[in-house]
Amino acid sequence: MAAVPAVKLENGASVPVLGYGTGTAWYKRAGAEDIDRETVDAVATAIRTGYRHLDGAEAYGTEKELGIAIKESGVKREDFFVTAKVNKGIGDIPAAIERTLRNLQLDYVDLYLIHEPFFAKDDEELQSKWAEMEKVQQSGKARSIGVSNFLQPHLEAIMKTASIKPAVNQIEFHPYLQHGDLLAVHRRLGIAVEGYSPLTPLTRAKGGPVDGVVSRLAKKYGVSEGNVLLRWSIDQDVVTLTTSSKEERLKEFLGVVKFRLTADEVDEISRLGREKHYRAFWKSKFDPD
Ligand code: NDP
């Protein structure tokens, strides 16, 4: 089984560069009071295949299923990197993290994120919620804390009053959504980027300008087109989150550990990708008509 290498966050925590998401494909199935066994089995398959970085969120309704799969796996707790996110529960973060830990049957999460910044009416509200997140880390219920879907102004707002810096910002990231110089901004601030929806050019936005180069590089390296897109993201130091309902695909994704793109190849995909703009998530918030 190919082990996924890890990178270190600025606070010293190690994160496997490829994570398995329990949102998107899964959230419509779970979320009811009953446990959705299909989702448990899917996470169990991902764990068995070799994934240890598991991305969850209160909003996905899959926390209980994720917790059962972790427990039944027999893998040691400390070998997992488990992320949770607060969204609906943002009004009472101490209660939200307690609920999440109960659902997950865990004593702590490795990473706890504010799922999106759009709840806040002003910078003060973002700052006061960040102060509550810092208390979660200080209590030991989260080893690291961070944010998701934050833009530069949101990051700068919380950095003004933070005593603990966000370890991570989890954003949509693929060739058709490169966010200008946002990666460089993160590097300057010492905040790691996690990217979700890396396969968008193959799935939701097929038929775009990167198709040709992605297919050429897949042939060159003897890998799938999906692997080229995952590698494009990882080769820019982005901790990358994907998912699949298919064991074969989950195994195939792990092939990313066996090759790297050259800097020129990364640049070629980036240059062609900038010819198209596509956002899959949080569209109404980021691109209001
Ligand atoms: P991806 O872009 O990696 O897409 C994965 C999906 O693509 C799977 O459903 C898979 O379907 C499908 N797929 C894979 N390969 C192919 C192919 N060759 N042809 C057609 N379809 C293919 O990531 P997601 O958008 O699913 O997001 C991954 C994770 O990121 C989520 O589960 C969640 O944890 C996180 N996320 C976070 C958000 C946030 O706001 N913070 C928002 C969105 C996602 P199949 O099952 O058939 O293999």
pLDDT at res. 27: 63
Tokens for 118, please give them.
Answer: 């759009």
Residue 33 has pLDDT above 80, yes or no: no
Residue 30 has pLDDT above 60, yes or no: no
Query: CB–CB of 283/30 below 8 Å?
Result: no
Probe residue for ligand 1, chosen from 29, 197, 225 as the CB with the greatest number of ligand atoms within 8 Å: 197
Measure 124 CA to ligand 1 centroid, in angstroms: 34
Summarised one tens digit per residue, pLDDT across range 90-145 is 999 999 999 999 999 999 999 999 999 999 999 999 999 999 999 999 999 999 99
Does the Cβ of 203 fall within 6 Å of ligand 1?
yes
pLDDT at res. 29: 60
Summarised one tens digit per residue, pLDDT across range 136-175 is 999 999 999 999 999 999 999 999 999 999 999 999 999 9
The C-alpha atoms of residue 166 and residue 159 are separated, in whole angstroms, by: 8
The C-alpha atoms of residue 28 and residue 60 are separated, in whole angstroms, by: 8
Measure 21 CA to ligand 1 centroid, in angstroms: 7
CA distances from 196 to 101, 127, 199, 246, 281 (A): 23, 25, 9, 18, 10
User: Taking all residues of the chain, what is their mean pLDDT, rounded to a whole number?
Assistant: 95
ipTM above 0.85, yes or no: yes
The C-alpha atoms of residue 258 and residue 227 are separated, in whole angstroms, by: 10
Region 188-197: mean pLDDT is 97
Does the Cβ of 29 fall within 6 Å of ligand 1?
no
Q: Which residue has the tokens 């996905």?
A: 60
The DSSP string of 219-271 is HHHTS-HHHHHHHHHHTTTEEEEE--S-HHHHHHHGGGGG----HHHHHHHHH
What atom of ligand 1 comes closest to residue 55's alpha carbon? 34
What's the predicted TM-score (pTM) here? 0.97
